[in-house]
Copies of this chain bind each other. A is one copy, B any other.
Amino acid sequence: MALKVYGAARTRTVRTLWMMGELGMPYEHVPITTQDGANLKPDFVALNPTGRVPAIDDGGFVLSESMAINLYLAKTYGGALYPATPQGEARAWQWSFWAVTEIDKTIIDWALHSSVLPEAERDPKRARTARLEMERPLHTLDQTLARVPWLVEDRFTVADLNAASVMYRALWMDLDDKPHARDWLHRCWDRPAARAARTMRE
């Protein structure tokens, strides 16, 4: 039975669809949305108690949380997509948690109030506050990528995929004063698997 990926591409599931593309494995996509509450229907909650997407079902093993799913997929099926050393692995965890704690909610707030919402509903002050909150983490990222092309070891790994996937909205952010972070972000999202996931989303 093929691995199942639950969640519509326009949700955080895009992160896992990108990973599936990198793996080149066959899978079944069940595009559950959150907007109509399908994620909270009894049959989905019975399968995935968190009721969140993305979730995967790998031969009966059901997992949620996009970052955890991608780490699991990379480690189980991804070969060089997963770091080779214990330190590299810990660093991939660090960047994945960094993306969630420092970027995830803030960048959505920035995107909503700078471009996504209808103009009349945007609050420019919230957009500015969100952008300001991201200044320090973006600086950290840029400084790191000034020294190395990828976040962990010497190649694209799940660390890059997880961090860049959370930063999707930053593709439209002026990052000219963070050129290393900007170039890395575009390098990640220019990968064929990323482009394919993005096409599913848009």
Contact surface of A with B, Cβ cutoff 8 Å: 49-51, 61, 63-65, 67-69, 71-72, 75-76, 86-87, 89-91, 93-94, 96-98, 100-101, 104-105, 136-137, 140, 143-144
Contact = CB atoms under 8 A, between A and B. Distances in A.
Report whether over half of chain A's contact residues are helix, strand or loop; otherwise say mixed.
helix
A150 to B, nearest CB: 16
Contact of A65 (B51, B61, B65, B93): B93
20 contacts: A49-B140, A49-B143, A49-B144, A50-B98, A61-B87, A61-B90, A63-B90, A64-B94, A65-B97, A65-B101, A69-B90, A71-B93, A72-B86, A72-B93, A75-B90, A76-B86, A93-B93, A96-B97, A97-B100, A101-B104
Given A64-B98, A68-B93, 17 more contacts: A50-B98, A50-B137, A50-B140, A51-B140, A61-B87, A61-B90, A63-B90, A65-B93, A65-B94, A65-B101, A68-B90, A68-B96, A69-B90, A72-B86, A72-B89, A97-B100, A101-B104
B68 A94 contact: yes
Contacts of A90: 61, 63, 68-69, 71-72, 75
B50 A67 contact: no
Contacts of A136: 51
